[in-house]
Amino acid sequence: MTAGKPAEDDYKQGVQHLQTLMTLSTLKHIDLYFADESGFSRLPQIPYGWLPKGKQTGILSDSKRVMNVFGLMSLKQKLYTYPIQGTINADFICKALDDFCKTITLPTVVVLDQATWHTAASIQNRMQEWQSKNLFLFFLPKYSPHLNAIEILWRKIKYSWLTPKDYLTEQDLKDAIFHIFKNFGNLFQINFSKNFYLLQ
């Protein structure tokens, strides 16, 4: 394995395993969720905009982190979110997964990358207990963020769904983000067949 690139065999095996999980989910044998964290600040992620010729505008910004969110998303556009003002660590993820366990009705697989807080001892020590509750973790090959579909959601929120007015105040931003979370799969939808690497 070279720096920043997954080992070829690990990558192929990971892709094959994930494709099998996606098939089982399509057949309704399991539920499949993609999970990861994202941070939100008042530093707008707006790539461009249009104004009448000769007009100028400014967007207030602040790089201070407004909140971090641990999210779990299915390709069926179901979403569970766990926001926090502080840092997301393994203990916080344990609590989030404990809560998520209460919602599952089928054997459920959660896809995660191999960030240190996802593979920490506190997570490993809980896996047997979660498995007894039909919750299983699947870790992606290293350096493969494109295999985690929830990354598409974070990009959509930051680059497409949030608007300049949502960044006016910290509360405006929080309200807009929670509005998106609440209405994901309804007012806010993603065509995964066009956006997700394994469905293209």
| Average confidence score pLDDT of the chain | 89
At 57 the pLDDT is 47
The 10s digit of each residue's pLDDT in 108-166 is 999 999 999 999 999 999 999 999 999 999 999 999 999 999 999 999 999 999 999 99
The architecture that CATH gives domain 24-41+60-199 is 2-Layer Sandwich (3.30)
Tens digit of each residue's pLDDT (9 = 90 or more) over 71-96: 999 999 999 999 999 999 999 999 99
Distances (CA, A) of 182 to 39, 64, 85, 130: 18, 24, 19, 26
Domain assignments of the chain as residue spans, ordered by start? 24-41+60-199
Cα distances (Å, whole numbers) of residue 3 to 10, 143, 144: 14, 9, 12
Residue 58 has pLDDT above 90, yes or no: no
Beta partners for residue 62, in sequence order: 42
Q: Is the dihedral of CA 190, 191, 195, 197 positive or negative?
A: positive
Q: Which one has a higher pLDDT value, 51 or 15?
A: 15
Is it the case that residue 48 has pLDDT exceeding 90? no
Please tell me the distance from the alpha carbon of residue 199 to that of residue 190, in angstroms, as a whole number: 13
Does the pLDDT value for residue 22 go beyond 80? yes
Main-chain dihedrals φ then ψ at residue 188, nearest 5 degrees:
-120, 115
Query: Residue length, the chain?
Result: 200
> What is the full DSSP assignment across 72-109?
EE-TT--EEEEEESS---HHHHHHHHHHHHTT--S-EE
pTM of structure = 0.88
**Confidence at residue 2, expressed as pLDDT on a 0 to 100 scale:** 46
